[in-house]
Structures are given as structure tokens and as C-alpha cells.
Amino acid sequence: MSMEQSKRLLEEFPPNSYEEWTVVAEASLKGKPLEKISTKTYEGITLKPIYRKEDAENLPHLKNNFPGEFPYVRGTKADGYKKDAWLIEQEINNSCPGQFNATLQNDLKRGQNAISLKINEQVIDQLIQGKSDKFCPSTAVFDLKRLSKAFDGIDITKNFLHIKSNKYPAIFYSLFLAYLKQNNIKLSDIKGIFKIDPLGNLVRYGEINMKSETYYKWAAEIIKHLTENNSPLKAIEIDVSIYNDGGANAVQEVAFALATAADYLRGISANGVEIKDIAKRVAFTVSVSSNHFMEISKMRALRMLWAFISKEFGADECGQKIFMHARTAKINKAELDQYVNMLRVTNESLAAVISGADSITVTPFDSLFGEPKDFSRRIARNTSLFLKEECNLLDTIDPAGGSWYIENITAEIANRAFKLFQEIEANGGMEKEILAGNIQKMVKEIKNQRVKNLQTRKDVLIGINKYPNTNEKEVDVINEDQQEFFDHIKEKYVKNEEIFANVDKKDMAKSITDMADAFAKGGFVMDAVNLFCNFSGIKAEKIDTTRLAEPFEIIRNNTKLAKEKNGKAPEIFLANMGPLKQFKPRADFSSDFFTTAGFDIIYNNGFNTPEEAAKAALESDSKVIVICSTDDTYPEIVPTLAKEIKTKNPDKYIILAGYPTDYIEQFKQAGVDEFIHIKSNIYDILSLIQTKLGIA
């Protein structure tokens, strides 16, 4: 079609004004104001039903802003992913370094290009204490031999390297230096992140084993060492995924990230390191949850605010450009209907890509059950590959740019997050707010809102509080025998603190290289921890990371155990009254309501009289009867039906589908025990029924 033809076509269909659209929209709402179809988010943002060009015209961040230009809301690179795509960083949780290596070798051959090594520090603590307890899924690397085993046959200079040491970063940095020296690898050839994040660990674990000032001193020496060796390695990782795990909203996540960064910049710079040298060593890790456009906007807002704030601190252009690692969220994942997790992480991965994340971890859909299987690992890895190779996302620079909707949310999040950041700063900074419990309180308030909305089904988790998979099969779980593994390594560990005798404890800079020499001679991390970590740290309230689905999973498991014990699941008898069109809407609603708990439903084709329904209900094995019909027929049906059942069997629990306000008390007197409707708290009702059935 030519330009002239297009012009003539547009003339035939002139655009309607916003005012004209508003009139039609409000008419469809039968006179209700347009605000009725606006949505209030957990961030306190009101989403309008429609966004127009005019809504974005006065947003400051859009003026003279292009990809690769300050404040980098549209990305830190002018060419987007065209030259350098996002890194694919899949986590490996094998305890044994040899198994870690085998899995990594396999994944690197199949598209992964970033190495994630999470150090199992719980097992290190337990070796020091001489007792075993359950430890987190991660890799037990505690000497040079085992680190070498983990990286055997892998050229770490060709892949981005992400080493996660939560408690003892300086000690593991020294161990890493020993590995580099042994293999003649220059520190300047290693790209990646070496995690130091004391405040993140404080709210994740409830304690850190040293004062934050001590961590800042170690961080300062590590940054100095990296600078002296011309290394691109980042050493400060601000991991705010813990707040997302706890239920925080997008505004809180951004504000907490910035407030944490501010504490780190001040704390480390107090130890003789320039801000510009610190800022370029900073990386951020965020979780991406299911609210697609909110998550895109969150990451864009964080990138923009970091540029402004780091600049004010004194960072140069390199330090103002954020490095952002995104990982799919944990809070919204579920053990039930596990394949839905696959859909969730795909949506979340796409949001991370559109927002311009530098590296992405896609969680395997079965990771909640134990060690992910090969199939789920492949699907997770291939999610990124599919987005890269099949969706043309490498060719589109900032696909979210110019979306009036996303640009407005980005601005809203940025404004609100900056205000919250200022409040935290005014109260003394992030650490003081954590120790006072204020950060945890803020997160908990939002988590409580999420829980309430899930329980009343205002929010939906597919397969959990709505649309349960009644044909779900048992999941094959791969779990390592961690006790056997612990016993094995306990035999191999022989305490030898003498090997660290020559380490200079007063000069931190020298102690890093001295420890590296000790590790080269066979030293164990456990002995270094005993000597250099005084354990006079600080404690704070942990962030509650209970997944939203967990309470519902407990309910479903109660039913499962009852089924195993009795040979069948508890049954719900539907007393469907009248013809199909009369009872079906509420019968279907009730079926979905109760199968959420794993109950079996006794569905029927409808009864003609209350007496007929009562007879069938009394003859059934079900202890729970649900009356399903319409509000206008209930006054005629319910009193007779309920009284008939209660008179002959008072133990039967009668529920009415619906909430006919004018007849509630009358129906209760007739024998109705409970009412279910679209505003019911499904969790409370299912829990109550399980208690009455004796299976809670």
C-alpha cells in the first residue's frame, strides 16, 4: 500500500478523541465513573484503563534520551543486545565438586555461557562444629583441591564467572587467587562477580558473623587488589532478590537496592577507596516476578536511579552504568501443577530481556522438589536460547521504549522509590533500618496483602487457589544423600591451623595474599575461618520467604495423607437443585473451590425436590453437603433441604453456594453452616473443613 493510499484510508477512519472514548466507556459501565476500571497495585500505583501519547509527553526521563545515554533508562548500550546478548547463567546445586563439574561441562556445551558457583558455607560451619545438619543446595568447595575439581577442564577465562560466598568472601577470594596462580591465569582475564553483600545476607539469614565495618574493610582491600591487577571483576553484589522472595513490591525493591548501595559506597570509601573505583565494581541482582509490565518498569527505574545517585556520589560514567543480573522469582512458584512454573519463568524471562538485563538465571520448573532433572535444566536453559534465537529480541533495541504505559509506570516507580530511599537515608541508612526491623515490617505488610488476596482469590495462582490439576501425578525427586556426603568430607578434613601461621593478621591487604599462599600449600577454609572470623557479628529479623503457595500445598498434602490412610479422598456432595442451567454455574464454582483442597466431588444431574436431594446426601459417605442453585430459588429450597439433613444427621456439614444477604440468618437457623462465594476466604474455609473432618 502506497503512502497516498494509507493517507486516504486514515481519512476515511478518523481517530476518536479521548473524550469520545470516555463517553462510550462509561456508558458500557452503566453510568459508573471510569475510575471503576482502574487498578490499584501493591506499589500504590493506580493503573489507568488506557494510556495515550499525552501521558508520556512530560516525563523527564524521556527527554533527549536514547539507548546507551545517561540516565540509561533505555539500556547501558546503544546497540542493545545486537553485539552482546544477555548471559545465560544457570545455577548448579550439586554438593560434590565433581558432580558440579560434570553438570557444568554438559551445560556449557549446550548454550550456557556464565558459570554460577554457590559456595556451601553451611557445611563449612558444620565441619567446624563437628556436627551435621541439613545444609542448603550448593557446592562444598573448601580447599584448592576441591575448587580445582569444580573447574576441571573448564577455561574460566572464556565464561562469565559468578562466585557466591555469603559469609566468608575474603577467604574465598584468597582461595580463588590460589587457583588462578596454580593455573597461570591472570586476574585481569576474569570477568564476573565475586559476591560481597553483608546486608543482603543479614536479612536472608538473620545474622552475619562479622560487623559490617569488617566486611567493608575486606571489600576495600579486595577492590584495591582488583584495581591493581587491572581486573574487570565486580566485587559488590547487591542482591535484592531476598526482598522479592519475602513479598516486597517493586518500589520497595528499588529503594532497598539503592539504600544498600549507598551504605556500601560510604562504608567502603571510608577505607581509602575512591567512589569511582567502588561504583564500577557494583552489580545488582533482582528477582523478576509475574507482573510482567511492572517488572520491566522496575528494572528500568532501578537502572535510571542508580545512574543519578551514583553520579551524585562521584561515580564516573563506567560506574553509573548498572550491571543487572535477573533471576526468575521464587515467591510465586509452586509444587502443585509444576509445569505451570514453566510458563511463569518464561513470562519472567521475557520481562528481564525486554528490560535489558545483563545476565539471566531461569529457575527449572521442578527445582522446589530437589536437584532439578536434566529435562527441566534443559528447558530452563533453552528458554533463554529460544528468546534469543526465535523471537528476534537481539535485533530490537529497547522494545519497551516509547510504550506510554511502561514509561508511565517506570516514572511512577522511580519517583516513589526515590522518596522511600530518601526516607531510609534520613533515618540513618539501610543497616540501621534493618536492625530496627523497619525494612522487614514494610515487606511483611505487602506480603500480608498478597496472602489475603490469594486466600480470597482476588489474586490467582493457577493450580493452587484456582483451576487445580485433579490428574496430577507424583513427582520423581532427585535428592542427594547429604548425610552421606557430609560423613565423607568429614573424614577428609584434618584440622591444620598451623598452615596459616604466617598470615599477617594486622595487614588485611597482605593477609589476602598470605592466605592464598596457605591455600596453595593445602590449607582448609575451615581453619582460615577459625583464625580470621571472630563471629562477633550482628543479628536482625529474617525476611520470611514462605512461598505464597505453601499454605495451600499443606492443605492439599493433608488430603493426600487422608487418602493414603483411608483409601480415598474426602468427598464433597453437591446438592444440585433444578435443571442444568439453574445449578451449573454454582456447581462448577463449588467444584473448583473444593478440588483446590484435593477433595473428590460427587456431582449429579440435579434434583427436583429438596426431599430427593436430602435422601441422596444422607445416603452418601460425604460429611460435607453443598447446595447449588440460584438466589431466587433458595428461599423455597434451602429451609426444607437443610432441616431434613440436619434432623437425620446433625454431623453433616451444610454449605450454601452463594450469599443471599436477606436470608442469611434464616438459612443458618435452618441448618446451613457456611456460605461460599466469590469473596470467600477459600483458605480459611478449606482449613476449617479439614479440621472438622479430622485431617488438618
Using the predicted structure, report yes or no on whether residue 117 has a pLDDT greater than 90: yes
pLDDT at residue 11, rounded to an integer: 74
pLDDT at residue 572, rounded to an integer: 97
Give residue limits of the domains in the chain. 60-468, 550-693
Is 592:572 a contact under the CB 8 Å cutoff?
no
pLDDT at residue 7, rounded to an integer: 66
pLDDT at residue 23, rounded to an integer: 85
Backbone Cα Rg of the chain: 29
What number is the average pLDDT over the span 260-289?
98
Using the predicted structure, report yes or no on whether residue 278 has a pLDDT greater than 70: yes
What number is the average pLDDT over the span 665-677?
97
Nearest C-alpha neighbor of 597 from the set 678, 675, 690: 690
Of 64-68, 194-198, 559-563, the poorest mean pLDDT is in 64-68
Fold of 60-468: TIM Barrel (3.20.20)
pLDDT at residue 134, rounded to an integer: 61
Fold match between 60-468 and 550-693?
A: no
pLDDT band for 57, please (50, 70, 90 cuts). Answer: confident
C-beta atoms surrounding 384 within 10 Å: 25
Written as one letter, the residue type at 107 is: D
Written as one letter, the residue type at 459 is: D
CA distance 352 to 685: 38
Q: In angstroms, what CA-CA distances link 536 with 121, 125, 173, 207, 232?
A: 17, 15, 21, 10, 32
Domain 550-693 has CATH 3.40.50.280: yes
User: Which residues neighbour 287 within 8 Å (Cβ) at sequence distance 6 or greater?
Assistant: 240, 241, 244, 245, 253, 326, 327, 328, 329, 330, 331
> pLDDT of 459-486, one tens digit each?
999 999 999 998 888 777 666 666 667 7
CA distance 526 to 503: 15
CA distance 283 to 260: 12
232's enclosing H/E stretch is none
Round the average pLDDT of the chain to a whole number and report it.
Answer: 93
pLDDT at residue 541, rounded to an integer: 98
